[in-house]
Amino acid sequence: MESTKLMSEPSCPFCSMIQSGDVVIDGNLAAVILDGFPVTIGHSLVIPKRREADFSKLSTDEQSEILSLASERMRQLQSEDPSITGFNLGINVGASAGQTVEHAHLHVIPRREGDVEDPRGGVRWVMPSKADYWS
């Protein structure tokens, strides 16, 4: 197993939040923080404590804990807010995929009935010309 020592970068907002203890859920290898630019109320990020930009380069233990914490956060959000009826989960890897912070993270985005006119396709809308496959 890889070292669990926090690899920090002073300019990394996620490292700063972990170091300051500004977390919603604190795990051994990962933590949950609130997104600084939320797209919905409760939008959270699950981040490894070890700074690595590429999710695929995280250890299997890190990846597993990230998924476990995402599930825990989803349950927590739904218990706090019964208007949440679904979630989008997403990971951007690389600038071409939209990654803007070079620290791997999983978005947990709560969804509510009627928050958009037609939610079909979900994450497929990252490629708008391919999203509407049902028409």
DSSP 35: -
The pLDDT tens digits for 72-91 are: 999 999 999 999 999 999 99
- The type of residue at 25 is I
Strands (E), 9-61: 25-26, 30-34, 44-48
Q: What is the pTM of this model?
A: 0.92
pLDDT of residue 7: 63
Residue 68, Cβ density class (10 Å: 0-12 exposed, 13-18 middle, ≥19 buried): middle
Q: Is 107 a catalytic residue?
A: no
In the three-class reduction of DSSP (H, G, I as helix; E, B as strand; rest coil), residue 2 is classed as coil
Choose, from 43, 103, 105, 107, the residue flagged as catalytic. 105
For the CA atoms of 100, 113, 75, 73, the dihedral, rounded to the nearest 10 degrees, stands at: 10
